[in-house]
Amino acid sequence: MEFEKEEAPSSPSSMPASPGAQYFNSCALSLSILCVLEFEVPISVDDSQTFPLLKDVFLPINPCFSSTMVEDKNGARKWKRVEVNLKHHVKAPVFPKGLSPALYQDHSNDYFSKIATDQPPQNRPLWEIHIIKYPTTNASGHIIFKLHHALGDGYSLMGALLSSTQRADNPSIPLTFPSRQSQSQQKENGEKLAIFSGMWGGFSLEFLTLCWILERAL
């Protein structure tokens, strides 16, 4: 994996890359995180809304979203701020028209596999957004965020994504997600946890008793 050379090592528009960022973006290892959002209603690709949202909300969250990884004259890797061409980062695959949701699901799965294994180009920021507007057996549409692990860990990247979203019914209310577990499932899981805790407590007591007996015997 080759990195561009930084022309001005002392430029204020660059900052050192962390050891973790360098490790996850190297010749030996290159990892990306895929976040898939499923929509209940059909989605459409509207550049007039997508690009301003990315420019004004998404890019300012993290300076690395507007940076590429380069090397200085000593071989140290840094993040260099660049001008982001959003058209290179937003992709909308085209599938055949008139297919059933099951067939669109097959096309989507193949597309997921492809973008998961594709290595991002090093001459632009390490993130992409893929918009699948075709209905599948799971959803009416999908938006896939592909973020390189060099940009951050899963927790920080998910926080960045969630901070750029709002509730449709009331933007002033914090974003929440419904639970997939029913009340009966939650009760059953609570009972299983209580049983496991009791078994673990009994085992710990027996183990400590055995240790005490062995200590006295020795």
Q: Which residues contact 196 (CB under 8 A, 6 or more apart)?
A: none
pLDDT tens by residue, 5-26: 666 555 667 788 888 888 888 8
pLDDT recorded at residue 194: 54
Low-confidence ranges of the chain (pLDDT < 70): 1-12, 45-47, 164, 166, 177-218
pLDDT recorded at residue 185: 60
pLDDT tens by residue, 46-84: 667 788 888 988 899 889 999 999 988 877 889 999 999
The sheet with strand 141-148 has its strands ordered as 32-39, 141-148, 127-132, 90-91
Report helix, strand or coil for 71. strand
Helix and strand numbers (H, E) in the chain are 5, 8
pLDDT recorded at residue 182: 53
CA distance 51 to 62: 17
Contact 67, 83 (CB under 8 A): no
Question: Token pair of 155, please?
Answer: 């927790």
pLDDT recorded at residue 141: 93
Report helix, strand or coil for 2. coil
Read off the pTM.
0.73
Report helix, strand or coil for 154. helix
pLDDT recorded at residue 45: 67
Q: Which residues contact 58 (CB under 8 A, 6 or more apart)?
A: 65, 160, 164
- Which residue carries 């957004």 as its tokens? 129
